[in-house]
Chain A
Amino acid sequence: MLERLYNLFLHFREYVFLSGLVILSLVLLSLNDAPQVKQIRTIATVVLGVIQDRVSFFPAYLRLGTENSILRRTNIELADQANQLREARLENMRLRRLLELKGRGNYDFVAAKIVSKNLTLLRNTLTLDVGEADGVHTSMPVVHDAGLVGVVVAASRHYSVVNILLNTDFRASAKIQRSRVDGIVAWDGARLTLKNIAKTLDIQQGDVLLTSEYSSTYLPGIRIGLVSAISEKPGSLFKEVVIMPSVDFIKLEEVFVMTSVPDQERIDLEHQAEERFSR
């Protein structure tokens, strides 16, 4: 090996010697402080800079794999953060609307998140993340800034179940805002309807429907929906009125439980009267 190296050196000794002397000369040149040397240093710096710029891609290319995986991970993290921010912004917007609702009257509200939702059954319900520990009890109305959502039908310590408008057990006294016509809102399994509307009563498509003062469960004036269709069946005394709910139950995520209940004395009296008549 050494012999081969020595032979190689012998073969190229002139070049090795030339290189040594040239390097020595350049070292001597670099010791000068003349303007020529300064100029050469400047040129050398520029040339080296250009060369480094041209070849700098090579080590970068070698690091490309690692860099790619780091960037991919960062991308995932950033995308996750962006999603969280977007969610937070949307939640903020929804909560602001709910707060506006809260500010409309002197009612007590408990904010709740929907943790479960059934919208394909006859008896559709929501499950909320608030319960008795939060002051939520059965028969309390549940609302959204868009309008009435339903009523609490069961409450555990930390959760509660809500019968929404789209539930065959749901009933609410309602009133047409424009003409003050009263009726009962009910879900027939396919449509939300306003019952007990005589053919002679004034009701039009697009009328706004609100909860009425006659309800012992719901506070009056909560928006329920709009009259979307009116039809009359031959041989019937009543109109068939279809209501489009104000609340989009598919998109619903947060609600308020209204902990203010109507006058308890009135409720008790009405119950007593019912019992007396039913005897």
Chain B
Amino acid sequence: MHRYFRSALIVLGLLLLQTTFVPFLAIGGFVPDLLLVWVVYTAIRRGQTEAMTAGFLVGFLQDVAATQLLGLAALSKTVAGFLGGYFFNENKTDQTLGTSQFLLIVVICSLVHNVIYFVIFLQGAEVSLLWTTAQYTLATTAYTTALSALPMFAFSRKIRS
């Protein structure tokens, strides 16, 4: 119970950061997705089912708080959690989190997450769907992956100590 409460607090904190502080870190209009990093972390730490639940709830909260389309972040983060769950190995959790493997998982999950998110989000927009989706997906994935290096280094230090 304590674990869930702590997770909820972390999610709320990350949501607050994502909606208030992270937009200031935007580079060329692209922002990293802290909540996605959390979902991937949950997937590696807790497995597929919990990651999907976390993805859905976090996405739903993000939809309510930030995006214009209710259900869009919930959908994309649920799928990201499902994918991330494939890399779950309870005996090697710290090793996965503290190495470049974590970054690779973030890249994979982020690519799929962003494709789903932007393909739907850009529907009806007067832009080239393929080109704009590719642009946003790659840029956001790169930025999110770069940011996920921070927890990776933290876990790496933890493993060494």
A-side residues, CB < 8 A to B, are: 13-14, 17-18, 21-22, 24-32, 34-40, 43
Tell me the complex Cα distance, A14–B84, Å: 12
Distance in Å from the Cβ of A57 to the closest Cβ of chain B? 31
B-side residues, CB < 8 A to A, are: 48-49, 52-53, 55-56, 59-60, 63, 68-72, 74-75, 78-79, 82, 85, 120-124
Report chain B residues within 8 Å CB of A37: 69, 123
B82 touches A28 (CB 8 A): no
Among candidates B56, B82, B120, residue contacting A29 with C-beta atoms closer than 8 Å: B120
User: Could you list 7 examples of A-B contacts with CB < 8 Å?
Assistant: A14-B85, A24-B74, A27-B71, A32-B68, A35-B124, A36-B124, A37-B69
A40 touches B120 (CB 8 A): yes
A17 touches B49 (CB 8 A): yes
Among candidates B48, B78, B123, residue contacting A36 with C-beta atoms closer than 8 Å: B123
Cβ-closest 8 pairs across A and B: A28-B71, A25-B75, A39-B124, A29-B71, A39-B123, A36-B123, A35-B124, A21-B78
Among candidates B52, B71, B120, residue contacting A18 with C-beta atoms closer than 8 Å: B52
B124 touches A22 (CB 8 A): no
Q: Taking A17-B52, A40-B120 as contacts, is the C-beta distance between A31 and B78 under 8 angstroms?
A: no
A31 touches B123 (CB 8 A): no
Extra inter-chain contacts (20) besides given A14-B48, A28-B74, CB under 8 Å = A14-B49, A14-B85, A17-B49, A17-B52, A17-B53, A18-B52, A18-B78, A18-B79, A21-B74, A22-B75, A24-B56, A25-B74, A28-B63, A32-B68, A32-B71, A36-B69, A38-B124, A39-B123, A39-B124, A40-B123
Report chain A residues within 8 Å CB of B68: 32, 34
Report chain A residues within 8 Å CB of B70: 28-29, 31-32
Report chain A residues within 8 Å CB of B48: 14
CB closest residue in chain A, given B78: A21
Tell me the complex Cα distance, A16–B21, Å: 37
A25 touches B121 (CB 8 A): no
Distance in Å from the Cβ of B28 to the closest Cβ of chain A? 23
Distance in Å from the Cβ of B54 to the closest Cβ of chain A? 11
A18 touches B82 (CB 8 A): yes
Report chain B residues within 8 Å CB of A18: 52, 78-79, 82
Distance in Å from the Cβ of A222 to the closest Cβ of chain B? 89
A36 touches B120 (CB 8 A): yes
Distance in Å from the Cβ of A223 to the closest Cβ of chain B? 87
Report chain A residues within 8 Å CB of B82: 14, 18
CB closest residue in chain B, given A30: B71
